[in-house]
């Protein structure tokens, strides 16, 4: 295999700023930022907006949307406009 043909596979820290949660894993992602990890070494840093620590599905804090009410409102508006055009 040619060495130039493959991206660099290295350790990278992914950090979820909203939950103050970070994890170290291997990745080929390129970043300009770095962070000092718990082991004292410096690693590339990728900032995340959401992760398993902050996602509603994993945290159990799901919000249920009342879609039936939204549909009723839409239909009422649609029917009103349709009647006005006649």
Residue 68 included in any domain: no
In a domain, 16, yes or no: yes
Q: Are 33 and 17 in contact (CB under 8 A)?
A: no
Residue 83 placed within a domain: no
| Average confidence score pLDDT of the chain | 78
Residue 12 domain-assigned? yes
Residue 86 belongs to a domain: no
Q: What residue numbers bound the domain in which 56 lies?
A: 3-61
Residue 56 lies in a domain: yes
Residue 38, domain member (yes or no)? yes
Residue 57 confidence (pLDDT) above 60: no
Q: Is the pTM of this model over 0.85?
A: no
| DSSP string covering 13-72 | EEEETTTTEEEEEEE----S-EEE-TTS-EEEEEEES--TTT-HHHHT------HHHHHH
Domain membership of residue 85 (yes or no) is no
How many domains is the chain partitioned into structurally?
A: 1
What percent of the chain shows pLDDT beyond 90?
31
Q: What does the pLDDT read at residue 20?
A: 81
More confident of the two residues 60 and 73 = 73
């Amino acid at each position: 295999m040619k060495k130039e043909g493959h991206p660099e596979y290295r350790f990278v820290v992914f950090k979820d700023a909203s939950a103050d949660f970070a994890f170290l894993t291997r990745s080929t992602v390129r970043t300009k930022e770095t962070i000092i990890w718990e082991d004292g070494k410096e690693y590339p840093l990728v900032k995340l907006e959401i992760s398993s620590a902050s996602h509603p599905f994993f945290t159990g804090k799901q919000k249920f949307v009342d879609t039936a009410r939204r549909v009723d409102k839409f239909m009422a508006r649609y029917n009103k406009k349709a009647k006005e055009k006649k």
